[in-house]
Chains A and B, each alone.
Chain A
Amino acid sequence: KAGVTQTPRYLIKTRGQQVTLSCSPISGHRSVSWYQQTPGQGLQFLFEYFSETQRNKGNFPGRFSGRQFSNSRSEMNVSTLELGDSALYLCASSLDPGNQETQYFGPGTRLLVL
Chain B
Amino acid sequence: GDSVTQMEGPVTLSEEAFLTINCTYTATGYPSLFWYVQYPGEGLQLLLKATKADDKGSNKGFEATYRKETTSFHLEKGSVQVSDSAVYFCALSDGNQGGKLIFGQGTELSVKP
Chain A: interface secondary structure? strand
CB atoms of B43 and A102 under 8 A apart: no
Expressed in whole angstroms, the minimum distance between the Cβ of A5 and any Cβ of chain B is: 11
Question: How far, in angstroms, from A102 to B99 measured CA to CA in the complex?
Answer: 9
Question: Contacting chain A: which of B15-23, B63-71, B75-83, B101-109?
Answer: B101-109
Residues of chain B at interface, number, CB under 8 A: 26
**Residue A104, interface by CB 8 Å:** yes
CB atoms of B43 and A103 under 8 A apart: no
**Residue B45, interface by CB 8 Å:** yes
Residues of chain A at interface, number, CB under 8 A: 28
Expressed in whole angstroms, the minimum distance between the Cβ of A98 and any Cβ of chain B is: 6
Expressed in whole angstroms, the minimum distance between the Cβ of A63 and any Cβ of chain B is: 20
In chain A, positions 15-67 with a C-beta closer than 8 Å to chain B are 31, 33, 35, 42-45, 48, 50, 55-56, 58
Question: How far, in angstroms, from A43 to B103 measured CA to CA in the complex?
Answer: 6
Question: How far, in angstroms, from A107 to B63 measured CA to CA in the complex?
Answer: 25
- A: which residues have CB within 8 A of B? 4, 31, 33, 35, 42-45, 48, 50, 55-56, 58, 90, 92, 94, 97-108
Sample of 30 A–B contacts (CB below 8 Å): A4-B43, A31-B99, A33-B100, A42-B104, A42-B105, A43-B106, A44-B103, A48-B98, A50-B98, A56-B97, A56-B99, A92-B101, A98-B98, A99-B32, A99-B51, A99-B94, A99-B97, A99-B99, A100-B51, A100-B93, A100-B95, A101-B99, A102-B34, A102-B46, A102-B49, A103-B99, A103-B101, A105-B36, A105-B44, A107-B43
